[in-house]
Chains A and B, each alone.
Chain A
Amino acid sequence: MFAILGTMGLVSLYFLAIGVPIEKYAEAGYSFLLLLTGSTDFSMAHPGYSASAIIMSGAGITLPLAIISLVILVLIALSCAAISTTTEYLEKKHGNKIIPKFLVFGKSISILLAAIPLFVGFWVFGESYGNNAPFLLIAFITITLGGLGWDASRFLLTDMHRQMGTTHTMVFSTLGLPLGRLFPLPGTFSGYLLSSSFPRFIPYLAGKVPAIIGGVTIAEIIFSFPGLGSTLLDALLVRNTDLLIASVFILLCVNAIVTFAVKTVLFFLYPRLYEKAI
């Protein structure tokens, strides 16, 4: 519903702004209906674009790239937060001064990576790989450069820090369980902190899905992948309204699917908090 209404809203505003005649609205609406029903040749004004080709460009390129990026984002945020919180715990409780220096170095590197523009990273890697860049590498760049990974790590770290001062965490730390220094596995100190922060982290992730899709779109344009980003730019180049509508719709669908997946995780893990989050 979000994708359908969002597409209709955006396209109506676009038509209103460029002042197209009323018949154009009806034509675009009919093309959109053909797309929704999966018609082979949905565009009446510009024949040759099939609904399945555009859906495949979203399902085959944009969706997997977005999901891999999301998984990498989660892994990076969890790992950084675990390393940082356990290091500070060791510093406070055992006076360990050496590891925090590595932590400062790591934080500086993460800031430096976040400051490098995403498109610069894509272009530099694109020079080496051309159009054959592996998805995993593209997803990794999408997250590490441009600040997405940095922001997610900071968010989780700030939240886990708040939990560190609470009485229940102090009691948990006396149980003698492992710290979980590299990854917050269940049954570890960092895993315990994460279990308290997770209900806030999942909605945060759902909110970051559009930013991930935006990054993936830029990657598709730079690497000339036949994904939705390139289709969208092509549509703007040749002023093909039907193709524009189709690309926006599929892009919003991908966005909605990934957000739905993230919120489903929240629903199954924390049903009561899910209600608050939506």
Chain B
Amino acid sequence: MKKPFNYLKNFCIFLLVSPFLAVWVPSILDGLLTDLTPAYRSSLVLSFQQLSITLLATLLFAASITLTLGYISILWSIIGKIIASVLEAIESVPAILIVLFSYAPVSGYLASHSEASSSVVSLMIFVFAATLTILPESIRGITLPLGELYYQKYSLSFRSYGFRRRKILAVLMGTDVMRHAFKRIAAGILLKILVLDCSFGFIIQLGFGSYGTPAHASPGALIAANRDALFQGGSPLLFWLPVLPLVMISIAFLLILTNSKENEI
């Protein structure tokens, strides 16, 4: 009974993240949203395309750093303590402040260069800043279960066979517990980036208008650009249309997180 339920759950998650698929396959949207102006329609598609690129790029970058630093933290405990202190200091600064500060120095460059190059630089800055804000929690997500496995469960028996710490950790990284941890971390990273990217896009659009950085499009900026649609005389659809897929995608990530946490119990 559990397997069909899991298939259903996975199917639901797939449906919830389907907006990403829809924006990359234009034929899916052909018959839909015909009442909207072409400019709004293309902004909507572009913002979700760029969001998917941002999520993927940050996930790959953040996950590779998380895995490396998480592994090193357990392998060499002194380095682990140093990394933990640095990450604790980073975690004490609000994420939105880190992103604002990361963009401030390059705002001049982004404004004076072509759209294509500033878009790439903007994405790189965001990936860097978002990774910085994500790392403390994601590395903890690796080191806690890995450390528990290493120090409390398997270390003695593995050591009695003469395995070295590096080999033991490599074996432990492939266990079911760690696989669940990776899944949970990936969903957590994606959710945080989604929230950060959209919140930041919204605030910048609110404060600086369309000339503000980041130069890469974001559904948050699109929502902010159409925020007055909620007032009398406006078309609320323009405001709610980007919100709906954002909520759907967030629910998908939250479902993955909930599932992983239940497995943890």
Chain A contact residues, CB within 8 Å of chain B: 2, 6, 10, 13-14, 17-18, 107, 111-112, 114-120, 123-124, 127, 146-147, 150, 154, 158, 161-162, 207, 210-211, 213-214, 217-218, 221-222, 232-233, 236-237, 248, 251-252, 255-256, 259
Q: Known pairs A123-B227, A146-B195. 20 more at Cβ < 8 A?
A: A10-B97, A111-B251, A111-B254, A115-B250, A115-B254, A119-B199, A119-B202, A123-B230, A124-B230, A147-B250, A150-B254, A158-B264, A158-B265, A210-B92, A211-B95, A218-B202, A221-B203, A233-B203, A255-B92, A255-B93
Complex CA–CA separation, A255 to B105 (angstroms): 24
Contacts of A252 in B (CB 8 A): 92-93
Cα A233 to Cα B204 with chains together (Å): 9
Least CB separation from B246: chain A residue: A117
Chain A residues positioned under 8 Å from B97 (CB to CB): 10, 214, 217, 232, 248, 251
**B195:A147 contact, CB within 8 angstroms:** yes
Residues 81-139 (chain B) with a chain A CB within 8 angstroms: 89, 91-97, 100-101, 104-106, 108
Among B195, B208, B247, contact of A118 (Cβ-Cβ < 8 Å): B195
Number of A-B contacts (CB under 8 A): 121
Q: Find out whether the CB atom of A222 lies under 8 angstroms from the CB atom of B96.
A: no
Query: Given A114-B254, A146-B195, A158-B265, is A210 in contact with B94 using a C-beta cutoff of 8 Å?
Result: yes
Assess the B105–A14 pair: CB atoms within 8 A.
Answer: yes
Decide yes or no whether B261 CB sits under 8 A from chain A: yes
A-B contacts, 14 of them at CB < 8 A, read A117-B198, A123-B223, A123-B227, A123-B230, A150-B254, A210-B91, A213-B94, A214-B94, A218-B202, A236-B104, A236-B207, A237-B208, A256-B92, A259-B92
Report if B17 contacts A (CB, 8 A): no
A69 to B195, CA, bound (A): 19
Which residues from 190 to 239 on chain B have a C-beta closer than 8 Å to any C-beta of chain A? 191, 195, 198-199, 202-203, 206-208, 220, 223-224, 227, 230-231
Give the top 9 A-B pairs by smallest Cβ distance, nearest first.
Answer: A17-B105, A115-B250, A214-B94, A119-B202, A115-B251, A210-B94, A233-B207, A214-B96, A18-B105
List the A residue with the shortest CB-CB distance to B265: A161
CA distance A218 to B195 in the complex (A): 12
Q: Complex: how many Å from CA A24 to CA B31?
A: 58
Q: Is the CB of A162 within 8 A of B265?
A: yes
> Is B243 an interface position by the 8 A CB rule?
yes
Q: Which residues of A contact B258 (CB under 8 A)?
A: 107, 111, 154
Interface size class of B (residues with CB under 8 A): 35 or more
Q: Inside 8 A of A107's CB, which chain B residues have their CB?
A: 258
Measured between beta carbons, the chain B residues less than 8 angstroms from A218 are 96, 199, 202-203
Chain B residues with CB under 8 Å of chain A are 89, 91-97, 100-101, 104-106, 108, 191, 195, 198-199, 202-203, 206-208, 220, 223-224, 227, 230-231, 243, 246-248, 250-251, 254-255, 257-258, 261, 264-265
Chain A residues near B247: list those with CB within 8 A. Answer: 112, 115-117
Which residues from chain A contact B254 at a C-beta distance below 8 Å?
A: 111, 114-115, 147, 150
Which residues of chain A are near B108, meaning CB under 8 Å? 18
| Residue among A10, A161, A237 making CB contact with B93, cutoff 8 Å | A10
- A207–B89 CA distance with the chains assembled, in angstroms: 11
Q: Which residues of chain A have C-beta atoms less than 8 A from B264's C-beta?
A: 158
A213 to B106, CA, bound (A): 25
Which of B91, B104, B257, B258 gathers the greatest number of chain A CB atoms within 10 Å?
B104
Interface of B is mostly: helix
Q: Complex: how many Å from CA A236 to CA B106?
A: 12
CB distance from A110 to the nearest CB of B (A): 9
Which residue of chain A is the closest to B243 with respect to CB atoms? Answer: A120
A236 to B97 CA separation, bound complex (whole angstroms): 12
Chain A residue with minimal CB distance to B201? A119
Q: Which residues of B contact A111 (CB under 8 A)?
A: 251, 254-255, 258
Smallest distance from the beta carbon of A195 to chain B beta carbons, Å? Answer: 20
Given contacts A14-B101, A111-B251, A255-B92, contact A117 B265 (CB under 8 A): no
Q: Which residue of B lies closest to A127 (CB)?
A: B230
Cα separation A123 to B223 with both chains bound (whole Å): 10
In Å, the complex CA distance between A74 and B246 comes to: 27
Expressed in whole angstroms, the minimum distance between the Cβ of A269 and any Cβ of chain B is 22
CB contacts (< 8 Å) of A117 on chain B: these are: 195, 198-199, 202, 220, 223, 243, 246-247, 250
In the complex the two chains form, what is the Cα distance from A214 to B155 in whole Å? Answer: 41
Residues A14 and B191 in contact, CB atoms below 8 Å apart:
no
User: Nearest chain B CB to A146's CB is how many angstroms away?
Assistant: 6
CA distance A68 to B250 in the complex (A): 26
A232 near B100 with CB under 8 A, answer: yes
Most buried by B among A14, A115, A214: A115
A147 touches B105 (CB 8 A): no
Nearest residue (CB) in A for B264 is: A158
**List of A residues within 8 angstroms of B230 by Cβ:** 123-124, 127
Contacts of B202 in A (CB 8 A): 117, 119, 218
Q: Knowing A111-B254, A114-B254, A119-B198 touch, does A217 contact B220 (C-beta < 8 A)? A: no
